């Protein structure tokens, strides 16, 4: 050890040793996302239903662009009312 080795020797001795083997699994694992369980036709149907029934079903207002993830509350409400026309569209108060 040269000049630096003598000065750093106490710190090197007190330092923590790293494991000799490298583990394949890191400590942080991002949550795994489940694959999509519905196809494009089902998503279109849910979006259409959401657009017609969001006021009566107490759902958030649709964004209108038809993209992005469907809110879980919307999917659950559609599943609960699937095939049944429970909510009637709201009548337009300005239409004569």
Domain boundary assignment for the chain:
38-91
pTM: 0.48
Q: In angstroms, rounded to a whole number, what is the distance separating the alpha carbons of residues 71 and 49?
A: 13
User: Mind listing the pLDDT tens digit of every residue in the chain (96 residues)?
Assistant: 556 667 888 888 788 777 666 666 666 777 776 666 778 888 899 999 999 888 888 898 888 777 888 888 998 898 888 755 544 556 666 765
Decide if 59 contacts 53 (C-beta within 8 A). yes
């Amino acid at each position: 050890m040269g000049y630096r080795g003598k000065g750093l020797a106490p710190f090197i001795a007190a330092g923590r040793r790293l494991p000799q083997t490298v583990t394949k699994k890191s400590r942080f694992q991002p949550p795994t996302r489940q694959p999509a369980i519905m196809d494009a036709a089902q998503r279109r149907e849910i979006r259409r239903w959401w657009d017609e029934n969001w006021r009566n079903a107490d759902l958030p207002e649709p964004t209108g662009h038809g993209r992005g993830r469907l809110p879980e509350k919307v999917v659950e409400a559609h599943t609960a009312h699937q095939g049944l026309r429970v909510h009637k569209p709201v009548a337009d108060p300005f239409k004569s």
